[in-house]
Every structure is written in structure tokens, then in C-alpha cells.
Amino acid sequence: MTTESLAKDISPTTLAPKPRGGVAQSVHDSLVIARRCLIRMTRIPEIVIFGLIQPVMFVLLFAYVFGGSINVDGSTDPKAFREFLMAGIFAQTVTFATASSSAGIAEDMTKGLVDRFRSLPMARGAVLTGRTIADSVQTAFTLLVLVVVALLVGWRVHEGLPKAVGALALMLLLGYAFSWIGALIGLMVRTPEAATSAGIIWLFPLTFVSNAFVPTAGMPTWLQHVADWNPFSATVQAGRVLFGNPGVSQSDAWPMEHPVWASLLWSILIIAVFRTLAVRKYRSATA
């Protein structure tokens, strides 16, 4: 065999891996990216540790500083407030993880890692999907630790384990949905620092104009309507119903009367809309 013929046999076209195409390739590529992100998290444990500190501090501060000062179902018993509080803290924890999605994607964009991925025969949306999956795994670990802390401060489940698991699954689904909002923000800003700020600032009004920390009955009428139709409120309400905790809203708004369905529908809608926008932005940003 001549050198020329050998060169033809090992041409770049021959060496390049052939994409499988379709859903199979997209799933495979997304899992590869997710694995890469999870390995990075294990090598930088500070990411996980500092991700745990904030929600644990929220639990302790709200439980012991505000416990007994807020009326829950006609009672100021600190135990009642702690049980009322935990669904809101769980939901806040999974949504605040959005900021890490924003910062991580912005960092990958600025370091040129995306250009390296573009040179490979991989699905375009896999980079974003893999990142959001990895963030969801980290959030699930954080939520598990938070459940243990909540049990230590007096929180209890009264509707059985299957319903409690269902409530936590709804919260993780909402967190995954919000991570796509974070992905879009990470693609729109120029630096990881800006992504961190932009990724978290909108979460404060979303989480506090809700039923997470205080009953909405004490809010002005117009603000109560906003809180009742807040996707975050629907998930918190679903959590309290499935956990059997006090403070379930008596509002006649549809999301408050059917919180499990409302939470599912909100999460699916957010994923459908913001995944489409994020993938489209990713393609245009790397074209």
C-alpha cells in the first residue's frame, strides 16, 4: 500500500466519528455532557458545599428567628410554622440553583469550550441539556440533605412516604424547568459574574411574592392574585398538600385548588418555552 493510498484511507472523514442522528444521539450526547459536569463538581467540592450552606442557613434562621411570630392556621406554635415553612424552603432551594446554571453556561461560553464542542459531531442542544441535567442531580443531593436538616428541626410528613416523594419530585421538576431560564440568561450575558447576578435577581420577587414564607391572605388583594398564580406558589401549595403540612391556602384560584396539576403544567410549559428559546440562542451564538 502506498503512502498516498494510506493517507486516503485515514482521511479526516474516515477518522471522524459518525453521529447516530436523531433522538439516540441527542440523549447520548446530553448524558456525556452531564457526566463531564458532574465529574467537575466532584473535583471542586466547594461548589457542593457552598450550595448546601445557604439553604441550611435559611432553615435555621426562619425556623428559630421567625418561628412563633407568624400565625399559621390560627396558631403561633413554632412547630406549626416550621412545618408550614419547609415546603417553601425546599422550593426556594431548587429554584435558586438556577444561578449556577447561568454562571456555568456563561463560563463555558467565555472559555471557548463551546467552540470545542462545535468541532464534534454532537447534537446542538446536548450542551445545554447535559448542563441542566447535571445541575438537577446536584440539586437533588442538596434537597436530600435539606430534608434531613428539616427533620432535625421538627418538620414531619403526615401523608405517607409516596406522597412526600411525589412532592419532592414536583419541586425538582420545577427546579429543572427554571434551570432552562438560567441557561437562557447564561447565553445572553457576557461574563459569569453578570450571569450570577442576572440569574438570581429575578428569583427574589418570584419566591417572596408567593405563599412560601407567609400566608397570602394578609397580602393586598391584587398582590394575592399575583401570588396565587405564581408557578412557585403552585409547587409550594402542592408540597404542603402532599406532605400534610399546615398553611394550605384556601384561595379559590385554580392553581391553589388543583396545585399538583398546576405545578406539573407550569413546569412543562416553562421547559417547552425556555428550552426552545435557549437552544435557539445557543445556535445563533455559536453559528
Helix, strand, coil percent content, the chain, rounded in steps of 5: 75, 0, 25
Max CA distance (Å), the chain: 90
Average pLDDT of the residues in 148-168: 92
**For the CA atoms of 54, 161, 173, 35, what is the dihedral angle to 10 degrees?**
80
What is the Cα–Cα distance from 260 to 254, expressed in whole angstroms?
11
| Grid cell listed for 107 | 463560563
DSSP 233-247: HHHHHHHHHHHT-S-
Tens-digit pLDDT profile for residues 197-214 = 887 888 889 999 999 888
- Is residue 279 in a domain? yes
Question: pTM to 2 decimals?
Answer: 0.85
- Is residue 16 in a domain? no
Residue 1, pLDDT > 80, answer no
Task: For residue 285, name the pLDDT band (cuts at 50, 70, 90).
Answer: low
The helix or strand, by DSSP H or E, that contains position 60, with its residue range, turns out to be: helix 45-61
Task: For residue 274, name the pLDDT band (cuts at 50, 70, 90).
Answer: very high
Average pLDDT of the residues in 264-281: 94
> Structural domain of residue 262, as residue ranges?
21-285
**Cell 457542593 appears where?**
48
Non-local (6+) Cβ contacts of 30 within 8 A are: 123, 125, 126, 129, 130, 133
Average pLDDT of the residues in 51-74: 76
- Is residue 228 in a domain? yes
In this prediction, residue 216 carries a pLDDT of 85
Catalogue the long-range contacts made by 60-66 (C-beta closer than 8 Å, 24 or more residues apart): 60/149, 60/153, 62/89, 62/213, 63/153, 63/154, 64/153
In this prediction, residue 231 carries a pLDDT of 95
More confident residue, 23 or 135: 135
The total of structural domains in the chain comes to: 1
Number of H helices, E strands in the chain: 15, 0
More confident residue, 71 or 227: 227
Tens-digit pLDDT profile for residues 106-128 = 887 777 766 677 667 777 778 88
- Which residues sit opposite 75 in a β-bridge? 72
- Is residue 15 in a domain? no
In this prediction, residue 271 carries a pLDDT of 95
Indicate the angle between helix axes 126-152 and 259-285, nearest 10 degrees: 140
- Is residue 10 in a domain? no
Residue 11, pLDDT > 50, answer no
Task: For residue 263, name the pLDDT band (cuts at 50, 70, 90).
Answer: very high
